[in-house]
Amino acid sequence: MTPLELVQIALYLGLLVVCTPLLGGYMARVFKGERTWSTPVLRRVESAIYRLAGVHPDEEQSWKQYALAMMLFNVAGFVLLFVLQLTQRALPLNPAVLPNVEPFLAFNTATSFVTNTNWQAYGGETTMSYLTQLIGLNVQNFVSAATGVAVVIAMTRGLARRQASALGNFWVDLVRCVLYVFLPLCLVFALVLVSQGVVQNFNGYAQATTLTGDTQLLPQGPAASQIAIKQLGTNGGGFFNVNSAHPFENPTPLTNFLEMLSILLIPAALTHTYGVMVSSKRQGWVIFAAMMALFLAGLALMLASEYGVPGTMEGKETRFGIANSILWGAATTSASNGSVNAMHSSFSPLAGGVALLNIMLGEVIFGGVGAGLYGMLIFVVLTVFIAGLMVGRTPEYLGKKIESWEIKMAILAVLLPSACILLFSAVASVTEAGLSSRANAGPHGLSEILYAFASGAGNNGSAFAGLNANTPFYNVLLGIAMWIGRFGVILPALAIAGSMGRKKVAPPSSGTFPTGGGLFVALLMAVILIVGALTFFPALSLGPIVEQLLMSSGRVF
């Protein structure tokens, strides 16, 4: 690795730390309904939206009402996106005359974008019309991300409030997130992207005659506006087939740096928002520290593996090189973003394995916007409980007792996605329908399958993309994994929030296990790693680990 590459990584991490309190503080004011610099402009738009949609912003909801509103909204979004794909041929804004999307793929894609996964079993430039990209995919990029943020804000209120039955209003949290957080950031970011060469137009594809006399059809479209939100909203669904490796999606090292920064920007900042809203910034930094430490460990392992082999440029772009491809890979799998600027399948086996493990740990290392933090808070509940058992103290968090209901819900949220990954991978590994999609033989073939279901259940969306996922088998099974991985965590998270909100706060006593220090950070990390390792080590050892060993002895398949 060159010194310049180390500087880039240091700059990346430094900026992330600096932005966390700035953006986090702003978001806290937004969700508490306080005045911000953007209020004078956006207040009127916000009220107009409530009027049009018939929302009473002052009406607060219980956890069940909140969950119901969230579910109905997401199902409505799914239906719209599904129908849009099935009918795009007859609809306007389809200059490349792309046919209707076939139903299994449309189901998978609609699920994928509604659950903030953005797994793509298709190539954007050859499958989706501009209209589908705009009013279908682009919209879900915004609202699926805002759903995640809304849920974590509700959960935060549940932990912060005392003897309260309400968690806020889903519609208000949703609209504020879109208007005050995403739109201003996206407008600026999209224009910076265009200035560097990301396309943004409604032209037909451009026909070129190359220097050697061949034809080359260059895809166009409103890409920049979608790429801005796909990065900031941890969506990750590319406008083009190869995502952010495509020069029209990520043309320069500068766009690469900014797109990479926006992957972790909001998930990191939300830890500070959380700290402010529970009136203890320290609690926010504790969670940030645990996330950052796990991220650095994963990054270091991936870099060591890729430079140790030595890694090749297969699947990587010259303008990024190895270090920036690995840094992106670590960020996108830690946060459930799933956009890629290099092909994870062609990473050295261990680097690809760590990327896979990042996803399997439950997407809590920064994680998806909102999703990472509510996932992490579920691990916090588990950690407090386990620590309490170990030292014989009452499990308490923020002065509230953790009881059997919370633990049941937390276990459910951890088990459901993990069970999906292992069981579905097992089914795929023993059926012709699952095995015939592999592009690589040997252990790498198993890694492809494992990665697909981890990516689906973790709502990540990146892939070992050799696997042909556009088959009815994978489209349906991965679709189910995405639904379970998303709402199988959100609903328990809201249930925990509801029950925590009703509890009394007891003053800290000598029997309270402190959650504001380094010891708790270490315990939290240990719980995450132990749960992840116990669940997935056997599978990982048959995939990436054994592949690394075979590779060093020169075996090929």
Scan residues 54-73 and list those touching other proteins (CB under 8 A).
54-55, 65, 68-69, 72-73
Q: What is d(CA 401, CA 166) in angstroms, rounded to the nearest whole number?
A: 19
Note whether 547 binds other proteins by CB under 8 A: yes
Note whether 134 binds other proteins by CB under 8 A: yes
Return the DSSP state at 360. H
Q: Of these, 17, 103, 162, 195, which contacts other proteins (CB under 8 A)?
A: 195
Residue 319: name the closest of 258, 256, 227, 261 by CA. 256
Of 313-321, 353-361, 428-436, 517-525: span binding other proteins (CB under 8 A): 313-321
Note whether 13 binds other proteins by CB under 8 A: no
Note whether 92 binds other proteins by CB under 8 A: no
Total binding residues toward other proteins, as defined by CB under 8 A = 127
Note whether 166 binds other proteins by CB under 8 A: no
Contact 466, 440 (CB under 8 A): yes
Note whether 444 binds other proteins by CB under 8 A: yes
Cβ proximity to other proteins: between 351 and 500 the closer is: 351
Note whether 433 binds other proteins by CB under 8 A: no
Note whether 136 binds other proteins by CB under 8 A: yes
Helix%, strand%, coil% for the chain, nearest 5:
65, 5, 30
Note whether 328 binds other proteins by CB under 8 A: no
Q: b/e per residue, 203-236, with b = 16+ CB within 10 A?
A: eeeeeeeeeeeeeeeebbbbbbbbbbbbbbbbbb
Return the SS3 of 4: helix
Note whether 525 binds other proteins by CB under 8 A: no
Of 20-28, 348-356, 394-402, 510-518: span binding other proteins (CB under 8 A): 348-356
Note whether 18 binds other proteins by CB under 8 A: no
Note whether 123 binds other proteins by CB under 8 A: yes
Note whether 202 binds other proteins by CB under 8 A: yes
Cβ proximity to other proteins: between 128 and 416 the closer is: 128
Contact 337, 321 (CB under 8 A): no
Write phi, then psi, for 465 (nearest 5 degrees). -80, 5
Note whether 126 binds other proteins by CB under 8 A: yes
CA angle 510, 514, 515 (to 5 degrees): 160
Measure the CA dihedral 62/68/69/73, to 10°. Answer: 160
Note whether 356 binds other proteins by CB under 8 A: no
Of 272-280, 389-397, 524-532, 543-551: span binding other proteins (CB under 8 A): 543-551
> Could you tell me if residue 199 is left (phi over 0), alpha (psi between -120 and 50 degrees) or otherwise beta?
beta
Write out the two tokens for 479: 């679709």
Note whether 443 binds other proteins by CB under 8 A: yes
Note whether 191 binds other proteins by CB under 8 A: yes
Note whether 435 binds other proteins by CB under 8 A: no
425 burial type by CB count under 10 A (0-12 exposed, 13-18 middle, 19+ buried): buried
Q: Cβ 58 to other proteins, closest distance in Å?
A: 15
Scan residues 446-505 and list those touching other proteins (CB under 8 A).
447, 464-466
H helix intervals, 95-182: 103-114, 124-127, 130-131, 139-160, 170-176
Note whether 208 binds other proteins by CB under 8 A: yes
Note whether 47 binds other proteins by CB under 8 A: no
Cβ proximity to other proteins: between 136 and 275 the closer is: 136
Instruction: Tell me, rounded to whole angstroms, the distance of Cα 326 from its chain centroid.
Output: 17
Scan residues 220-279 and list those touching other proteins (CB under 8 A).
220, 222, 224-226, 228-229, 240-242, 245-248, 251-254, 256-257
Who contacts 368 (Cβ-Cβ below 8 Å, separation ≥6)? 116, 145, 148, 234, 267, 335, 336, 337, 459
Contact 463, 243 (CB under 8 A): no
Note whether 4 binds other proteins by CB under 8 A: yes
Q: Cβ 62 to other proteins, closest distance in Å?
A: 13
Note whether 342 binds other proteins by CB under 8 A: yes
Note whether 116 binds other proteins by CB under 8 A: no
Determine the straight-line distance between the first and last CA of the chain, rounded to whole angstroms.
30
Note whether 110 binds other proteins by CB under 8 A: no
Who contacts 152 (Cβ-Cβ below 8 Å, separation ≥6)? 270, 274, 370, 371, 373, 374, 377, 493
Q: Of these, 30, 42, 153, 175, which contacts other proteins (CB under 8 A)?
A: 175
Of 30-38, 169-177, 370-378, 486-494: span binding other proteins (CB under 8 A): 169-177
